[in-house]
Amino acid sequence: MLLENLLEYNRKFIEGDESPRKSALYPNKNAVVLTCMEPQLESLLREALDLQEGDVEMIKNAGAFVSNPYDSVMRSLLIAVYERRADEVFVIGHHDCWMKDFDPKATMERMGLQGVSEESIEDFSQIKDLSEWLRGYQEISDMVKTSVNTIVNHPLLPEDTPVHGLIIDPDSGKLDVIVYGF
């Protein structure tokens, strides 16, 4: 089990000669980045944007998507702005995102195969359309624009906070600006 391996490594880490690194209390570049949860993106963004550990707050989810102005992603962005001194917000999607054309039906089938009851799925669907809630976008630029729009129009975000929307190419690291926030 992965947990056992992580705990074993942690035990060796604690017993080692080096003390854990202390990170800065606030991000060095006063910014927050919302990006996709694909593992390679964090290191790619650090290289492509010359970011060091502690330079920005990094929030990751499926598709770098803010689906609701009152979800936990928006909550985290607001906390970054008010409590973590983030003066700019960057929404960074990427080409070849697995959320593009994502079909929720397969996920819903896997839920059933892994023991989620039909009743639980139906109960959820009475609150929110599960298929709609899980779905991706046809165009990554649309997902980025929607997220930027949701953030910019949030009633609790300061009006002078720039919110930028970008798409990174995971092969080259090239960034395309979709929305230049002012």
* Residues 110-126: tens digit of each pLDDT: 999 999 999 998 898 88
Q: What CA–CA distance (Å, rounded) separates 123 from 119? A: 6
Higher pLDDT pick, 174 / 13: 174
- Asked whether 108 and 134 are in contact (CB, 8 A), the reply is yes
For the cut 80, the answer to whether the pLDDT of residue 137 exceeds it is no
- For the chain, percent of residues with pLDDT exceeding 90: 61
State the pLDDT at residue 182: 78
Q: What average pLDDT does range 8-35 have in this prediction? A: 82
Q: What CA–CA distance (Å, rounded) separates 42 from 64? A: 12
| Least confident interval from 26-40, 100-114, 126-140 | 126-140
For the cut 90, the answer to whether the pLDDT of residue 20 exceeds it is no
| Least confident interval from 40-44, 58-62, 96-100, 140-144 | 96-100
Q: What CA–CA distance (Å, rounded) separates 45 from 174? A: 10
Q: What CA–CA distance (Å, rounded) separates 31 from 86? A: 4
For the cut 70, the answer to whether the pLDDT of residue 17 exceeds it is no
State the pLDDT at residue 19: 66
Closest CA to 77 of 58, 101, 97: 58
Q: What CA–CA distance (Å, rounded) separates 67 from 80? A: 18
Q: CA 125 from chain center: how many Å?
A: 24
Q: What average pLDDT does range 13-30 have in this prediction? A: 77
Q: What average pLDDT does range 67-92 have in this prediction? A: 95
